[in-house]
């Protein structure tokens, strides 16, 4: 519009003009739509996976009888997903010691899958297994998987004290009866299971070469475990080598070692002198543990009488049994002071043990 100057009286005018105004409703809607698109775009480039199951329940878990379950991790995102099972707060490992995860970490490309094995192998006295696993995605969220199962008792993992207080195989007793048995008097001087294994070796294995160094079939060991835990009138199953390995396993996995942990240092220190070793066994080792230790050593002395046939000498047997009879607290670690333990046991394989046997009170 053109404005003209008048030489007359002042002129008033009304002007109409267009001014930009923000539509708040539309602004908010567009802003929200953009944020959603940005979030979607960002999420598309975050690692994303799915797990086919987050609760794993095992069948009845038995001593040294592994079970395997599998989970499938699928990459449903647009970028490679790096996963890892991580430990929980205040825990030293990402899973319990009875569980193995293979693989426990890895990378999965978009559209691909990874089969993860969860292997349970029970080697201790548990009524039930339970754990919560944390599956961590690098740059993504954590996912949780529960693992559980009921366990079967075994004579291989309970205390020798309990075994000497029950007059029948362990699986013939209820949980309540086993608890009550802890309060009973000792019925045997050594566990029935140890006697059965050694008696069979005495009758059939004294002349067998590499008796304690031959690996038996796993199926044979399972049959002997069941034979001991359930009880049977049938002869002990499996080969004589399987019986020998079962004895070593039994002594390796009982809840308490034959020589108590707190006496190991003293035993090793005394290993150069038989009388000092004997003094520890007679005065410091509990009666039941002393009985088991001497019973095994007496059998090994008898075994050595046939060394021309079986090929063993006292030093070899002492080395084999030293780390077992004086078992470390951490069974899976490298044995400590093996030579000292072997020397301690050696004393009881080459000396007269009659003075070490304490009459029952």
**H/E run at residue 51:** strand 49-51
* pLDDT, average across residues 209-224: 94
Q: Are 293 and 343 within one domain? A: yes
Final residue of a structural domain among 104, 124, 150:
150
Quick one: pLDDT band at residue 20, thresholds 50, 70, 90?
confident
Instruction: Say yes or no to pLDDT of 185 above 70.
Output: yes
Final residue of a structural domain among 129, 150, 171:
150
Total domains in the chain come to 2
Here the contacts of 102-108 (C-beta below 8 Å, separation 24 or greater) are 106/82, 107/80, 107/81, 107/82, 107/83, 108/49, 108/73, 108/74, 108/75, 108/80, 108/81, 108/83
Instruction: Say yes or no to pLDDT of 278 above 90.
Output: yes
Give the pLDDT confidence score for residue 6 in this predicted structure. 58
What tokens appear for 291 in the block? Answer: 């009985």
* pLDDT, average across residues 270-280: 95
Final residue of a structural domain among 120, 150, 180:
150
Q: Are 300 and 210 within one domain? A: yes
> Omega of the bond prior to 107 within 30 degrees of 0, cis?
no
Report pLDDT digits (tens) over 279-318: 999 999 999 999 999 999 999 999 999 999 999 999 999 9
In a domain, 208, yes or no: yes
Give the pLDDT confidence score for residue 336 in this predicted structure. 65
Rounded Cα distance between 207 and 137, Å, is: 58
Quick one: pLDDT band at residue 3, thresholds 50, 70, 90?
low
Report pLDDT digits (tens) over 92-120: 999 999 999 999 999 999 999 999 999 99
In a domain, 30, yes or no: no
Instruction: Say yes or no to pLDDT of 34 above 90.
Output: no
Phi, psi of 149 (to 5 degrees): 175, 155
Domain that includes residue 297, residue range: 160-356
Are the C-beta atoms of residues 211 and 240 closer than 8 Å to each other?
Answer: yes
In a domain, 37, yes or no: no
Q: Are 112 and 165 within one domain? A: no
Q: Are 57 and 188 within one domain? A: no
Q: Are 166 and 141 within one domain? A: no
The domain spanning residue 212 has which CATH number? 1.10.555.10
Q: Are strands 67-75 and 113-120 parallel, antiparallel or unpaired?
A: antiparallel
Rounded Cα distance between 343 and 279, Å, is: 15
In a domain, 5, yes or no: no
């Amino acid at each position: 519009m053109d404005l003209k100057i008048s030489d007359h009286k002042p002129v008033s005018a009304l002007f109409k003009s267009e001014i930009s105004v923000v539509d708040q409703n539309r602004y908010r809607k567009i802003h929200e739509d953009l944020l959603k698109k940005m979030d979607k775009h960002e999420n598309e480039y975050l690692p994303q996976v799915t797990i086919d199951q987050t609760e794993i329940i095992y069948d009845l878990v038995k001593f040294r009888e592994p079970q395997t379950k599998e989970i499938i991790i699928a990459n449903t995102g647009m970028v490679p997903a790096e996963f890892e099972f991580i430990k929980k707060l205040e825990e030293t490992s990402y899973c319990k010691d009875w569980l193995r995860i293979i693989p426990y970490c890895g990378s999965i490309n978009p559209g691909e899958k990874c089969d993860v094995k969860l292997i349970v192998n029970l080697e201790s006295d548990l009524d039930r297994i339970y754990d919560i696993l944390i599956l961590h995605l690098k740059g993504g969220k954590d996912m949780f998987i529960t693992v559980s199962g009921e366990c079967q008792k075994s004579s291989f993992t309970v205390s020798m004290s309990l075994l000497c207080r029950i007059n029948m195989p362990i699986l013939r007793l209820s949980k309540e009866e086993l608890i009550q048995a802890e309060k009973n008097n000792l019925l045997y001087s050594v566990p029935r299971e140890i006697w059965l294994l050694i008696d069979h070796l005495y009758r059939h294995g004294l002349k067998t070469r590499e008796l304690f160094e031959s690996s038996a079939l796993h199926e044979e060991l399972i049959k002997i475990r069941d034979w001991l835990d359930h009880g049977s009138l049938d002869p002990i199953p499996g080969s004589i080598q399987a019986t020998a390995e079962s004895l070593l396993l039994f002594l390796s996995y009982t809840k308490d070692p034959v020589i108590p942990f707190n006496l190991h240092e003293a035993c090793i220190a005394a290993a150069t002198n038989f009388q000092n070793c004997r003094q520890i066994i007679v005065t410091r080792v509990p009666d039941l543990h002393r009985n088991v230790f001497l019973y095994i050593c007496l059998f090994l002395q008898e075994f050595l009488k046939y060394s021309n046939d079986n090929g063993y000498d006292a030093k070899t047997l002492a080395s084999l049994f030293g780390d077992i009879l004086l078992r470390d607290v951490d069974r899976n670690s490298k044995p400590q002071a093996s030579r000292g333990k072997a020397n301690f046991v050696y004393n009881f394989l080459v000396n007269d043990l009659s003075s070490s046997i304490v009459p029952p009170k």
